[in-house]
Amino acid sequence: MAKTVTKAVFPVAGLGTRFLPATKVLPKEMLPVVDKPLIQYAVEEAMEAGIDEMVMVTAPGKSALEDHFSPAVELESFLEARGKTEALASIRDDFPHPKKISFARQGDPLGLGHAVWCARDFIGNEPFAVLLPDDLIQATPGCLSQMMDAYQGTGGNVVAVEEVAADLTSRYGILDVTEDDGRLARAKGLVEKPSPDDAPSRLAIIGRYILQPEVFEHLDKKVTGAGGEIQLTDALAATLEGTPFHGLRIDGRRFDCGSKMGFVEANSAFAAERSDLHGGG
């Protein structure tokens, strides 16, 4: 049986330039979908999947992320005194409280692989999850829970994937597939952001990973890849010989909240699920 995963990395050091001026002082991960920031959706998804220790890899100007997950004693006292029980519950009783949240600093923006590498001391020699809050996934059970179920059968590295249009392969890490049952695909290779002519498939990695600690052996080398950055995909490709690698198609809907259109679509879809918003309330 695969070793249980209880730790997760949240790479949240990006500048969010697509959302300026909103992200001039507000981290993009704090942008709300309805009334909850993107980072909270990701944390709740991780907790549902059994994660209780988390590390957020941040950058200067991201203190709001740490503040969000810290107690707000004065605000709680104010809400309690005013009898605002629903609002109070949203930041106390109904708020996610992981066993441990740590913060690590990514000094230079050297890519996703480097951001994950910055969490190496926290992870140690254990399997771990990586969640990118920009990818908001509407699914029941949650995306990472679905991946955990698959991981118990496959072991190794498991990533969430979806089919993308041929002209979009240059935006993603793409799997070179050797077996595929329509939901779970085993890969023999990975290519980071290939052109449509060079893409081995249209099966693209989206922002959820379950990884073995051996990936740090390759990230330690700090080899740059596409865009001159340290790519996580390249490190995963280097582990393929000794570690099984599978892509799981998620039963759910993914929203690319790193784009304005994806963010707007996510707000609409998540609002539609909220009974308290029906009828214009």
| Structural domain contains residue 237 | yes
Q: What is the pLDDT of residue 241?
A: 85
Q: What is the domain range of residue 148?
A: 7-280
pTM: 0.94
| Structural domain contains residue 2 | no
Tens digits of residue pLDDT in 158-189 = 999 999 999 999 999 899 999 999 999 999 99
Weakly modelled stretches of the chain, pLDDT under 70: 1, 279-281
CATH of the domain at 26: 3.90.550.10
User: Which residues neighbour 198 within 8 Å (Cβ) at sequence distance 6 or greater?
Assistant: 191
| Structural domain contains residue 1 | no
| Structural domain contains residue 195 | yes
Q: What is the pLDDT of residue 99?
A: 86
Gap between the Cα atoms of 232 and 115, Å rounded = 9
| Structural domain contains residue 276 | yes
| Structural domain contains residue 271 | yes
First and final C-alpha spacing in the chain? 48
Residue 104's identity, in one-letter code, is: A
Is the Cβ–Cβ distance between 41 and 136 less than 8 Å?
yes
Q: What is the pLDDT of residue 136?
A: 98
Gap between the Cα atoms of 141 and 265, Å rounded = 21
Indicate the number of domains in the chain: 1
Q: What is the pLDDT of residue 15?
A: 83
Q: What is the pLDDT of residue 281?
A: 45
According to DSSP, the residues that pair with 245 across neighbouring strands are: 157
